[in-house]
Amino acid sequence: MPPFPEVKFYISGLWLLFKGDAQGLKRLDMTDRGMMRSFWAFLWCLPAMFVYWTGMRYAFLSANPEGTKAGLAFYLRLFLIEAINWILPLTLFGILCLLLKTERKFVSIVVATNWLSVPVSYAYAVMTLLLFLIPFAAGLIALVQLALLIATIFAISRFVRQICGPEPLVVATTMLVLLVPGLIVADLLQSYLGVSPY
């Protein structure tokens, strides 16, 4: 598992890319080994995910009758949803790269998006904690969460432009493949597995 200084170095590269500086690519390990190591980001995100899942559990119990159970099985279902939501977009993007014969770009995008998940996950965990600590500021926190979502989409678009080039069609297609399926599947699975708080 990559140590914190290494993860911090990768995230500093993402920050440069976010600012439009292509030098950030040099701080990411874009080799095949680097791609496989980037999946350690999932374990780095688990503590933050647990905080977010606890917030979902609280919302789930609040929306259901008293006595509703939400124990270990609830967390395991959320873990399953997160794992599928992590792998599915990358799998679809891999198929797209095979069709377009741009396999090397697949490695770079996987590395960038995997490590991006670490700061994004912890940012959402902080928002979840703030909801518990200052529930009267829920409206403001919701706005911050929306801003975080927009910033995440903007960051991914920056990465895609730096890696795949500025062609609007390529950027738009890649963004759709990386973002839309995961959102749809996560919503469907939450309903199907009975963990949706809404």
Residue 114's pLDDT band, with cuts at 50, 70 and 90, is very high
Q: Is 197 a domain residue?
A: no
41: nearest Cα among 73, 63, 84, 11 = 11
State in Å, rounded, how far the first CA of the chain is from the last one. 36
Q: Which pLDDT value is given to residue 116?
A: 95
The residue behind tokens 């999932």 is 42
Q: Which amino acid is at 93?
A: F
Q: Which pLDDT value is given to residue 132?
A: 86
Average pLDDT of every residue of the chain? 90
Query: What pLDDT, in 10s, does the model give residues 31-81?
Result: 999 999 999 999 999 999 999 999 989 888 888 888 788 889 999 999 999
Q: Is 127 a domain residue?
A: yes
Provide the number of structural domains found in the chain: 1
d(CA 36, CA 29) in angstroms, rounded, equals 10
Other beta carbons within 10 Å of 63: 11
Query: What pLDDT, in 10s, does the model give residues 125-160?
Result: 999 999 888 888 888 988 999 999 999 999 999 998
DSSP string computed for 41-71: HHHHHHHHHHHHHHHHHHHHHHHS-TT---S
Determine the structural domain holding residue 24 and report its residue range: 4-192
Q: Which pLDDT value is given to residue 96?
A: 85
Q: Is 129 a domain residue?
A: yes
